[in-house]
Amino acid sequence: MNYEFVVLPMGAVDSPAQVRDYVRTQYGQPVDEQLHRFVVAALHGWNSRVPAAYRHALLNVEAAGHSVRVTAADRADRRRHRSSAVDSAATAVRRLIEGLILGLEYQLYDAADDSLWPPKRSE
């Protein structure tokens, strides 16, 4: 199982079911400068600090337009690190991303529980 997260602008989708289509509309577009500066750079920084022994914690970062798709790798050392190490990495990655977008006009899609964070406010 991969742990997938997507950062996208607040209000870009009305429900988690629309996230994949939204991401597809962003392919081929240059990455939004704010998104690159605050999110993409920090995620690449995460990867640069991952020791070789913890390759399962490396992130696949795909950025285009106003979206960033992040996959927490679980395939590098899958046999040795069946679930606990991957689960730990996924939780840490989610917390990292939440911290990066806090206060910005972005939301986070978590594919594991098919949710958007922060949740849409009721009017």
Phi and psi angles of residue 112, each rounded to the nearest 5 degrees, phi first: -60, -40
Percent of the chain with pLDDT over 70: 82
- Centre a 10 Å sphere on the Cβ of residue 64 and count the other Cβ atoms it contains: 18
Query: Over 60: is that where the pLDDT of 79 sits?
Result: no
Count of positions (residues) in the chain: 123
* Backbone φ/ψ region at 103: left (φ over 0), alpha (ψ -120 to 50), beta: left
The secondary structure element, H or E, covering residue 98 is helix 84-101
Structure tokens at 101: 């977008």
Other Cβ atoms less than 10 A from the Cβ of 75: the count is: 11
pLDDT one-digit tens code per residue, 81-102:
455 555 567 788 899 999 999 9
pLDDT tens, residue by residue, 41-56: 999 999 999 888 887 7
Q: Establish whether the linkage from the previous residue to 9 is cis, with ω within 30° of 0.
A: no
pTM confidence score = 0.85
